[in-house]
Amino acid sequence: MSEVFQRLDRKKANDIRILSQFVSVFCREKHQAEEKQPFSIKDEQVRAILGGRNPVLCQDCRRLLSHGIVKLLLCPYDPKPMCKKCPTHCYAPGYREKVREVMRFSGIYLLKRGRLDLMFHYLS
Ligand code: SF4
Ligand SMILES: [Zn+2]
């Protein structure tokens, strides 16, 4: 995957961090009964982007986060638009709806708790 990461820019890195935080909130609040494990990714650059804060997630959320990260890394747009406004949404069937649900739920959750910093990064 090394050529993929050469194309990583600040916007994609930011989106990866936001996706990780939003999936983390969603899983913590909505999947309390599920068995969870730390999300792990082998590549050092992605680990660095996540700042060593690997979320503890259920299997479905680990899959969703992993799928989202790969899609962000492979995104052909430069500059990258917001995924929800993208004309060629690249997520696999099922993941697109799921990620929308996650972003909506966690966005409202974080707004209600005054986490405008995260919402700013999400919207920027
Ligand atoms: S949905 Fe569009 S903007 Fe988002 S990663 Fe895929 S191609 Fe890029
Ligand atoms: Zn989950």
pLDDT of residue 3: 47
* Residue-wise pLDDT tens digits, 38-83: 998 887 888 888 887 789 999 999 999 999 999 998 898 888 888 8
What distance in angstroms lies between residue 26's CA and the mean position of ligand 2's atoms?
7
**Of the ligands numbered here, which is closest to the C-alpha atom of 95?**
1
Amino acid (one-letter) located at 32: Q
Vertex 5, ends 88 and 51: CA angle to 5°? 105
Q: Please tell me if the CB atom of residue 96 comes closer than 6 angstroms to any atom of ligand 1.
A: no
What distance in angstroms lies between residue 82's CA and the mean position of ligand 1's atoms?
7
81 Cα nearest atom in ligand 1: 3
The domain of 47 spans 2-123
* Residue-wise pLDDT tens digits, 77-111: 888 888 888 888 899 989 999 999 999 999 999 88
